[in-house]
Amino acid sequence: MALIVQKFGGSSVSDAESIKRVAKRIVETRRAGNEVVVAVSAMGDTTDELLDLAAACTPIPAPRELDMLLTAGERISMALLAMTIKGMGVEALSFTGSQAGMITTAEHGSAKIVDVTPGRVREALDEGAVAIVAGFQGFSRDSRDITTLGRGGSDTTAVALAAALGADVCEIYTDVDGVFTTDPRIVPRARKIDAITAEEMLELAASGAKVLHLRAVEYARRHGVALHVRSSFSNETGTIVYDPAKGHPKGAQVEEPIITGIAAEKNEAKVTVGGVPDVPGKAAQIFEIVAKTNANIDIIVQNVSAADTNRTDISFTVPLEEGRRAVEALEAERESVGFLSLQYDDQIAKVAVVGAGMRTSSGVSAQLFRALYDAGINIEMISTSEIRISVVTRADLMEQTVRVLHTAFGLDSDTEATVYAGTGR
Ligand code: ADP
Ligand code: ASP
Ligand code: MG
């Protein structure tokens, strides 16, 4: 008997009809003789609607109360799903994150899983029931409070359960047929990827491909969980995320493509500290100030200093919601650091081209820059890793940049991808 963890995202359970459709799929998996654990997200755009509601009540909601509010979303979907499955004649029990033993750190809104003790889930399985677990939520032993794992965190709930229960596979059901060469909402001719290495998936997820939560990919890699991303609206096989050390899942001797996929995001801001004295220790001072605000810095660029002033500019990118804090902290230290100006720009986008084949190919950056030049797109910042090149452009050029690069690197498919549901929010 196999143990299968299935995760259903919000757009797969957006209304009663969808819940019945998903319940049917779960019942079929159970009746085929498998043990089934389900992680479920809040219905449709519930999480966004709850966030809007909180913002309408108070400008800066208390993080503890916000987590209480948001976790209610997954409670609704888990209970509806469990009762629907029971109504179809299969035993099912729903569990909140804390009942399912998802033990986390205490940081509200971005808690990390520290332990998984799924005793009640195991008992439910032993009794022949399907266990439905609320995604995205946990419990901190330190604060004794309910926490959330960050947006998109239900994927991580599913992977953590799969690892703790020793599942045979973790299936991530969503509103597209798998992981594509880029977001099919931006490029309808994006191509489905049959199998992608965990390393490439990590870079894509870290660069904004929200089809999988970054921490879910990390967790799966660390614990050797097999991931299968597929649609809850079709029976197509989706995308397998695999460890190349264990070989390609189809046993194929495939040549690595140079470019595997393109990811993009607008949720970034650029901070430029101008007129920084070009002496040792200034970068350390600036980034220590920023680090104290807990901002996650991504790309950093420092210019050569002007010969006449011996001053330089340092720019860096941070997630949008952390940018203002970083700027306020720097402003407060303007005199002690000795810089002359501070600029904040939230109209930027980051586009990343990812491919393990880049390691062994030259000329990829030249090809990328040429394609953007031909399309008249200005590059503001550049950063690279072994298997990724990221560029920063104006926010309103993001979609065009993705399309241009998708075509330039020969990724366009002959057919259009199906986006089955969801608002893309
Ligand atoms: P769920 O609610 O199922 O968790 P998400 O909205 O979090 O779904 O993720 C699925 C969405 O991710 C797709 O509808 C698609 O718009 C977007 N997406 C971004 N990049 C990719 C990609 N490379 N492949 C597939 N989907 C992607
Ligand atoms: N409901 C949460 C969100 O919208 C978690 C998830 O769907 O993965 O971010
Ligand atoms: Mg998601």
Concatenating the DSSP letter of every residue in 130-188 gives: EEEEETTEEEETTT--EEE--TTTHHHHHHHHHHHHT-SEEEEEESSSS-BSS-TTT-T
Cα–ligand 1 centroid distance for 24 (angstroms): 23
In a domain, 369, yes or no: no
CA distance 391 to 389: 7
User: In this structure, which ligand is nearest to the CA of 18?
Assistant: 1
Beta bridge partners of 389: 353, 384
Contact 150, 205 (CB under 8 A): no
Overall average pLDDT of the 188-217 stretch: 95
User: In this structure, which ligand is nearest to the CA of 351?
Assistant: 1
In a domain, 235, yes or no: yes
**Is any ligand 1 atom within 6 A of the Cβ of residue 394?**
no
Q: Return the percentage of the chain with pLDDT > 70, whole number.
A: 99
Cα–ligand 2 centroid distance for 177 (angstroms): 19
Q: Which of 23-27, 46-50, 409-413 has the lowest mean pLDDT?
A: 409-413
pLDDT of residue 95: 98
* Terminal Cα distance for the chain, rounded: 38
Cα–ligand 1 centroid distance for 186 (angstroms): 11
User: In this structure, which ligand is nearest to the CA of 12?
Assistant: 1
Expressed as residue numbers, the domain containing 215 is: 3-248
Cα–ligand 2 centroid distance for 265 (angstroms): 17
**Is any ligand 2 atom within 6 A of the Cβ of residue 10?**
yes
Contact 349, 395 (CB under 8 A): yes
Output the CA–CA distances (angstroms, integers) from residue 46 to 19, 170, 388, in the order listed: 14, 24, 34
Q: Which of 114-128, 239-253, 286-300, 361-375 has the lowest mean pLDDT?
A: 239-253
Please tell me the residue having the least CA distance from ligand 2 atom 6: 152
pLDDT of residue 257: 78
| Total number of domains constituting the chain | 1
Contact 313, 295 (CB under 8 A): no
User: In this structure, which ligand is nearest to the CA of 200?
Assistant: 1
Other beta carbons within 10 Å of 247: 11
Overall average pLDDT of the 342-365 stretch: 93
CB burial of residue 402 (10 Å; 0-12, 13-18, 19+)? buried
Contact 118, 125 (CB under 8 A): no
Beta bridge partners of 197: 242
Question: Cα dihedral angle (54, 59, 64, 70), rounded to 10 degrees?
Answer: 20
What CATH code is carried by the domain that includes residue 54?
A: 3.40.1160.10
Cα–ligand 3 centroid distance for 345 (angstroms): 27
In a domain, 68, yes or no: yes
**Is any ligand 1 atom within 6 A of the Cβ of residue 312?**
no
Cα–ligand 3 centroid distance for 339 (angstroms): 41
Please tell me the residue having the least CA distance from ligand 2 atom 9: 151
pLDDT at 423 over 80: no
**Is any ligand 1 atom within 6 A of the Cβ of residue 179?**
yes
Question: Cα dihedral angle (53, 59, 65, 70), rounded to 10 degrees?
Answer: 40
In a domain, 121, yes or no: yes
Cα–ligand 1 centroid distance for 183 (angstroms): 7
Beta bridge partners of 269: 318
In a domain, 175, yes or no: yes
Pocket test for ligand 2, best of 51, 151, 215 (most atoms within 8 A of CB): 151
pTM, two decimal places: 0.92
Beta bridge partners of 7: 39, 172
In a domain, 127, yes or no: yes
In a domain, 136, yes or no: yes
Pocket test for ligand 1, best of 74, 174, 185 (most atoms within 8 A of CB): 174
pLDDT in tens, 297-346: 989 998 888 878 899 999 999 999 889 999 999 999 999 999 999 999 99
In a domain, 98, yes or no: yes
pLDDT interval class at 74 (50, 70, 90): very high
pLDDT at 65 over 80: yes
pLDDT in tens, 233-278: 999 999 999 988 887 887 766 667 789 999 999 999 999 999 999 9
